[in-house]
């Protein structure tokens, strides 16, 4: 999974010969898991067709404030489009458009959207050598970067005029890698190590049977995705789960039993900055494991059980610099039990969910949580997808760590 996965990317296309490269740029963003919309200056349509870009992006391409051929068409609201984007990239960015951006001109839809955008704005200049080197162009580059825009430098090579030098728009692959690197460098958890335990544990009775629970691991997986998308190196200690996850910043450590999970956690703990214990770990395991399948022999059958290692308690006792988060799944006296667990396990934050709340708990794609911090401040949230819950949890972690 790329850091661009799930991002809303707005590509602005201006009237330069390099506009033909935009098709490849759209394709690469889509391949990275991003959602893409394209806006063009009217003159850009002479270089690449809106049909091509709308087909690749799977979204309509806009170039004017309204459709002149349809008197009933809705106005293309530049504010809404600008606020939609997580990232805006103008490629190619001609000298004409860049100079208008620098002085705040707004004589077409693309420029109006640029002025409304609240997201990071990248621009990839594309022009001939003499234009690129002109003092007015240098001043434009400086002014735009002073505004907070991010320049993707042009490359050197043969230009449309036949001259050789700097002015070629960066290749689509270069633009993608530049933006990915820039996003990663600015993420709040860049350089941090996060460990998340997730899923159930299976405690063997014999080679066929085990003691387990209904946890799917989905909540922990969503937490891992959010942490990685915030720039962290993530260790996901995952019990038996059908959920697959691929992300360049997530290392999955597959485990089966509580003992396996305990050993994995102990080996990684000292290197972690944030630890979230979202796994549903078995409290007990069979004292003796049969090497052969146990056959039916009597109407009653009993298994002697012994306690498993209390992983969360161990982490609380050995906490140094770690920010430690636990989960409490309760069915009665929910808040009181969660507060007791928060204190007894030496946690910074506990995530409470109740099986009495419809849509919360195991298996489903939603959860309803209440967050209680070490000062016993309480924040209750409505029912949300587990992906949204994971974002809420990390928002709270970031708030508490910055206090």
Is 213 considered catalytic here?
yes
Residues of the chain with CATH 3.40.50.1950: 8-186
pLDDT band at 307 (very low <50, low <70, confident <90, very high): very high
| Selected catalytic residue, list 59, 213, 337, 346 | 213
Q: What's the average model confidence in pLDDT over 58-74? A: 71
Band the pLDDT of 58: cuts 50, 70, 90: very high
pLDDT of residue 66: 65
The alpha carbons of the chain give a radius of gyration, in whole angstroms, of 27
**Mean pLDDT, residues 214-226:** 93
Question: Closest Cα to residue 322, out of 237, 400, 239, 225?
Answer: 400
pLDDT at 74: 52
Residue 292 backbone dihedrals phi, psi, to 5 degrees: -120, 155
How high is the pLDDT of residue 1? 62
> What pLDDT does residue 69 have?
56
* Confidence check: pLDDT of 205 > 90: yes
Domain boundaries 8-186, corresponding CATH code: 3.40.50.1950
Q: What is the pLDDT of residue 361?
A: 61
Residue, of 334 and 202, whose pLDDT is higher? 202
Q: What pLDDT is stored for residue 248 in this prediction?
A: 82
Determine whether domain 193-401 maps to CATH 3.50.30.10: no
Highest mean pLDDT among 206-215, 307-316, 326-335: 307-316
pLDDT on residue 52: 96
- For residue range 122-165, what is the model confidence (pLDDT) as tens digits? 999 999 888 898 999 999 999 999 999 999 999 888 777 777 77
Rounded average pLDDT over 270-281: 96
pLDDT given at position 71: 54
The average confidence (pLDDT) of the chain is 91
Q: Please say if the pLDDT value at position 348 is more than 80.
A: yes
The whole-number average pLDDT for the span 246-258 is 92
For residue 162, the model assigns a pLDDT of 77
Query: N- to C-terminal Cα distance for the chain?
Result: 32
Contact of 338 with 372, CB cutoff 8 Å: yes
Question: Has residue 379 got a pLDDT over 90?
Answer: yes
Cβ atoms of 91 and 22 within 8 Å: the answer is yes
pLDDT at 91: 97
pLDDT band at 219 (very low <50, low <70, confident <90, very high): very high
The mean per-residue pLDDT over the stretch 273-299 comes to: 90
Say what the pLDDT of residue 78 is: 79
Q: What is the structure's pLDDT at 220?
A: 95
Of the pLDDT bands very low, low, confident and very high (cuts 50, 70, 90), residue 67 is: low
Residue from 149, 188, 155, 187 nearest 169 by CA = 155
What integer pLDDT is reported at residue 109 of this predicted model?
93
Q: What's residue 363's pLDDT?
A: 62
The two most distant CA atoms of the chain are separated, in Å, by 93
pLDDT at residue 161 in the model? 74
Lowest mean pLDDT among 63-77, 263-277, 316-330: 63-77
High-pLDDT (> 70) share of the chain, %: 95
Q: What is the pLDDT of residue 393?
A: 96
Mean pLDDT of 204-232: 92
CATH 3.40.50.10300 domain residues, the chain: 193-401
> pLDDT digits over 87-117, tens only?
999 999 999 999 999 999 999 999 999 999 9
Q: Give the model confidence (pLDDT) of 175-197 as tens digits.
A: 999 999 999 888 899 999 999 99
Question: What is the band of 14 on the pLDDT scale with cuts at 50, 70, 90?
Answer: very high
Distances, alpha carbon 317 to alpha carbons 38, 320, 324, 339, in Å:
53, 9, 11, 17
pLDDT at residue 17 tops 90: yes
């Amino acid at each position: 999974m790329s850091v661009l996965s799930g991002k809303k990317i707005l590509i602005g296309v201006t009237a330069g010969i390099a506009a033909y490269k935009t098709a490849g740029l759209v394709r690469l963003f889509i391949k990275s898991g991003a959602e893409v919309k394209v806006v063009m200056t009217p003159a850009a349509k002479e270089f690449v067709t809106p049909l091509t870009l709308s087909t690749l992006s799977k979204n309509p391409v806009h170039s004017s404030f309204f459709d002149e051929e349809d008197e009933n068409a809705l106005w293309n609201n530049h504010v809404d489009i600008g606020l939609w984007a997580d990232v805006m990239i103008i490629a190619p960015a001609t000298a004409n458009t860049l100079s208008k951006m620098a002085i705040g001109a707004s004589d077409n839809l693309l420029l109006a959207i640029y002025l409304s955008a609240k997201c990071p704005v990248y621009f990839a200049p594309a022009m001939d050598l003499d234009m690129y080197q002109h003092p007015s162009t240098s001043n434009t580059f400086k002014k735009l970067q002073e505004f907070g825009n991010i320049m993707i430098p042009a490359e050197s090579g043969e230009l449309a005029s036949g001259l050789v030098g700097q002015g070629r728009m960066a290749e689509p692959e270069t633009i993608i890698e530049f933006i990915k690197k820039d996003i990663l460098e600015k993420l709040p958890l860049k350089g941090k190590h996060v460990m998340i335990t997730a899923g159930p544990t299976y405690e063997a009775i014999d080679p066929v049977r085990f003691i387990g629970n209904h946890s799917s691991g989905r909540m922990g997986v969503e937490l891992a995705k959010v942490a990685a998308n915030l720039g962290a190196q993530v260790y996901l200690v995952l019990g038996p789960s059908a959920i697959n996850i691929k992300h360049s910043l997530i290392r999955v450590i597959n485990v089966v039993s509580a003992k396996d999970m305990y050993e994995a956690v102990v080996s990684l703990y000292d290197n972690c900055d944030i630890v979230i214990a979202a796994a549903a770990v078995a409290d007990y395991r069979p004292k003796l494991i049969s090497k052969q399948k146990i056959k039916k022999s009597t109407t009653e059958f009993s298994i002697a059980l012994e306690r498993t290692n209390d992983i969360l308690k161990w982490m609380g006792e050995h906490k140094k610099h770690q920010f430690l988060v636990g989960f409490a799944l309760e069915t009665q006296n929910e808040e009181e039990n969660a507060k007791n667990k928060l204190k007894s396990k030496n946690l910074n934050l506990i995530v409470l969910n109740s099986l009495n709340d419809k849509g919360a708990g195991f298996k489903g794609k939603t959860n309803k949580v209440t967050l209680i911090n070490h000062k016993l401040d309480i924040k209750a949230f409505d029912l949300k997808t587990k992906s949204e819950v994971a974002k809420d949890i990390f928002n709270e972690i970031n708030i508490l760590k910055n206090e």
